[in-house]
Amino acid sequence: MTVLEELPKPAAEKSWQDQAKLLRVMAHPVRLAILEALCRRPHCVKHMNSLLPVSQPQLSQHMAALRKENLVACHACGPVRCYYVLRPTLAKEIMRLLGQEHPLEEQDCDSVVAEAREGWEHDMETKCERGGSSEAG
């Protein structure tokens, strides 16, 4: 069993590959700015374009990428297109997490090795109890 197989499944039965793809789409400064603005309230394209330092064609490309992954959607009323966040809990949580400080937590070598060894030994005991192989990894 691989590490990814042992991790808890992502919400909504999506694979880790699906989740990584979603994060890759969001992992652009302009797209994060778009999501941040849309988390506050829906915006029409013209207004979004005035908020962001990108050309209208670039904004359209970013919006298309976010739409393709069902992160945003839009309603058209004549020539006006207004966008909103389709997954508000996800977008707001990402914005909240990115807005926080995440200090580095250095650990000394001995404690890292000891904790890793303890986890490996526990995994091996569990595997042996289930009748699995006890080969070293």
User: Residue 68 is part of a domain; what is its CATH number?
Assistant: 1.10.10.10
CA atoms within 13 A of residue 123's CA, in its CB half-sphere: 13
How many angstroms separate the CA atoms of 16 and 18, rounded?
5
Domain for residue 77, yes or no?
yes
Domain for residue 57, yes or no?
yes
Domain for residue 107, yes or no?
no
Q: What is the pLDDT of residues 33-72, one digit of tens each?
A: 999 999 999 999 999 999 999 999 999 999 999 999 999 9
Domain for residue 124, yes or no?
no
How many angstroms separate the CA atoms of 24 and 51, rounded?
23
What's the average model confidence in pLDDT over 15-37?
Answer: 94
- Domain encompassing residue 37: 15-99
pTM score of the predicted model: 0.74
How many angstroms separate the CA atoms of 29 and 21, rounded?
16
Q: What is the pLDDT of residues 69-84, one digit of tens each?
A: 999 999 999 999 999 9
The percent of residues in the chain predicted with pLDDT above 70, rounded, is 86
User: What domain count does the chain have?
Assistant: 1
Backbone dihedral angles phi then psi of residue 73, each to the nearest 5 degrees: -145, 170
Domain for residue 25, yes or no?
yes
Domain for residue 105, yes or no?
no
